[in-house]
A and B are shown apart, each in its own frame.
Chain A
Amino acid sequence: MRWLRRHLIGIIAILVLVYLFVPIAVVGVLSFNSPVGKYNTSWNEFSIDAWTNICGVPGVCSSFVLSIQIGLFATLVATIFGAMIAFALVRYRFRGRDTTNLLIFLPMATPEVVLGSSLLALFLNLAFPLGFWTVLIAHIMFTISFIVVAVKARLQGMDPRLEEASRDLYANPAATFRYVTFPLVLPGILGAALLGFALSFDDFIITFFNAGTLVTFPVYIWGAAQRGIPVQAYALATLVFLVALVFVLVVQWINHRRRRSLEAAVGIST
């Protein structure tokens, strides 16, 4: 009983993590299913057909590739714009700071249906054709705020003495930025970019409003649901999940090693 009380929070924490992962596990398991009929919702028998023939259903791979393309483009633009805003907010004094903060905050405080439908209202009124460009525009728009917040947190958490030290050693501002500031902020920017990509790649609601006849991976899944989502979609989703998870864990591990060797070299402990 005392053991239970001591570890109660830990047990609840593990259970919540399990809760987060149960549906992902179900998706993974169903990717090895050979469903009865067209709906892949209950277990029938083990099969690796979907994995060996991952593009075997028309449309599934093209929509997947399209989502990756849009995700990469949107992330690139949003990361550049967002990081620039974060720098301006943390490092510069200017008028209109409150308005800027508000403009960054509002897209995050607006439900996706409103963001998606308002952009659609704009495109309809301008008679702008829906498709790749409208989806890309939308994805850049809703990712910027999240990037700003992530990069800003990293910049604020930076030790200002490192830049002061660089200046004391007669580094000009460009050199300080190039050799001190940028390398220190880079992991934060990359982390923000990864978040941006995840948001863009998996977005359904805003995309659905502005896609027209364009079929991204989530739109494909939504459309396929009526006639049964192919097992291949489950395999692709599982694949993305595993690749992303391994990638993040490797980055974490490298960061951890780098920090330890740095601390050993400088002889400080933080």
Chain B
Amino acid sequence: MTTTTSTPVAATSVSTQRRPRTGYLLLLPGIAWLAVFFVVPIITLLITSLQAPVPGRSGVYTLGFEVSNYADALSAYWPQFIRSFVYASIATILALLLAYPLAYFIAFKAGRWRALMLVLVVAPFFASFLLRTYAWRTILSDEGAITSFFNALNLLPDNRILNTPIGVVLGLTYNFLPFMILPLYAALEKIDPRLIEAANDLYARPFTGFRKVIWPLSLPGVVAGTLLTFIPASGDFINARLLGSPSDSMVGTAIQVNFLQFRDYPVASALSFILMAIILTVVFIYIRRAGTEDLV
């Protein structure tokens, strides 16, 4: 604790002189924490994923180079991987479609209600994630109004929403929606409203004005929002468990079950490592394509 209490004081006395040493001191505790409890665990995960079982002792593994763990993990759980990325992609697109109008409204039309509406967007964070997801079981129940309505229109392939992929995708869309709204709002809020007026003055039709002015300027928010939705959605196992059937399980489910129930640490670690590698690849290609340099 001595470092945390003494460094801010040291920092203040020289802050204007911009000594790099003070900068390093400020970084030290937080960065050290991330190095020890984020970077080292990822390396441990990689090592664990290559471990070999000790014959005759279940749940005990020894150092090895069992690349076959990865083949085992993929051959057993490739459907879970595909489902995860398909569900997460659909949920991300739905969340973008829902979040954009709300973020646009808050940024340009809300006036004095702006601060209040922003509070309302963050408010779900204060209500239990698990109980809110359970609440969807009540809302989407087979006898409920929503399921009956869509059934009357004959729109549901299984005549129900709960315990189907539709339920899972709806849950994912709902749970990560605020993560889409906030970065979109942050990007839209920076746009000078006079640019929209200028587009109008130049006789651009409202949609053309949106397409040529607002949308390109809001792209950093779209990139950040889609990532902040897609990443947690693809690793989630709660929505699949609570709103889907066992055949809708996602890769998160497989990691959790292998780690905590089967105690097959190497395969669980391999699954986890593959998931992280895929997501980071997607993230970096996506960021490069979208041309946003600032990561944070």
Contacts and interface: CB of A to CB of B under 8 A. Distances in A.
Interface of A: 9-10, 12-13, 16-17, 19-24, 26-27, 30, 41-42, 77, 80-82, 84-85, 87-88, 91-95, 100-115, 117-122, 124-125, 137-138, 140-141, 144-145, 148-149, 152, 167, 173-174, 176-178, 181, 195, 198-199, 202, 204-205, 208-209, 217-218, 221-222, 225, 229, 233-234, 237-238, 240-241, 244-245, 248-249, 252, 256
Interface string B2-15: 00100110011111
Contact of A88 (B26, B34, B47, B256): B26
Given A173-B13, A198-B125, A113 B139 contact: no
13 contacts: A16-B177, A92-B19, A92-B22, A95-B20, A109-B231, A112-B235, A118-B272, A122-B37, A176-B16, A202-B126, A209-B259, A240-B126, A249-B116
B290 interface: no
A215 B53 CA distance: 30
Interface size grouping (class) on chain B: 35 or more
B105 interface: yes
B252 A111 contact: yes
Interface stretch (B67-75, B148-156, B195-203, B273-281): B273-281
Contacts of A94: 20, 23-24, 27
A205 B237 contact: yes
A84 B26 contact: yes
Nearest to A28: B127
A23 B104 contact: no
A153 B3 CA distance: 25
B285 interface: no
What's the dominant secondary structure at chain B's contact region?
A: helix
Contact of B256 (A85, A208, A218): A208
Contact of B29 (A84, A181, A199): A84
Interface of B: 4, 7-8, 11-20, 22-24, 26-27, 29-31, 33-35, 37-42, 44-45, 47-48, 98-99, 101-102, 104-106, 109, 115-117, 119-139, 141, 174, 177-178, 227-228, 231-232, 234-238, 251-252, 255-256, 259-260, 265, 268-269, 272-273, 275-276, 279-280, 283, 295-296
